[in-house]
Amino acid sequence: MNRARNRARFVYIGTEYDAREHAELWRSRFCDLLDGLEISYEVVVANDPFFGRMGRLLAESQRQKALKYEFVVPITSEDNEHQADGHRCREHYPPP
């Protein structure tokens, strides 16, 4: 099956507090959109697909700190697919 995907990135650069507020704003907006369209969904803590032993540690740390979440939408009765996600990159962009 060929799936075309369009991605939009909303990047915020600022203090950790302000970045957290920005992420929550967009998370809330997407929830409102799905609610308004009467689409069922679940927001789950997620992690990037890290590989190897160190990758497992990075993934676990990312999940414990709730740095990434996904909106999981039922596509069929047997299948769920994530349609959007949010991600805070604390370790990748240290303060100046």
Strand order from edge to edge, sheet including 68-74: 42-45, 68-74, 80-87
CA 87 – CA 25 distance, rounded (Å): 13
- Angle 3-47-27 from CA coordinates, rounded to 5°: 75
Over the stretch 10-60, which tens digit does the pLDDT of each residue have? 777 888 888 888 888 988 998 999 999 998 888 888 887 777 888 888 888
Residue 8 lies in a domain: no
Residue 7 lies in a domain: no
Over the stretch 64-95, which tens digit does the pLDDT of each residue have? 888 888 888 887 766 666 666 676 665 554 45
Owning domain of residue 77: 16-87
Residue 69 lies in a domain: yes
Residue 4 lies in a domain: no
Residue 55 lies in a domain: yes
Residue 82 lies in a domain: yes
Helix (H, G, I), strand (E, B) or coil at 17: helix
Residue 95 lies in a domain: no
Residue 6 lies in a domain: no
**In this structure, are residues 71 and 43 in contact, taking their beta carbons and an 8 Å threshold?**
yes
Count how many domains the chain has. 1
Strands (E), the chain: 42-45, 68-74, 80-87
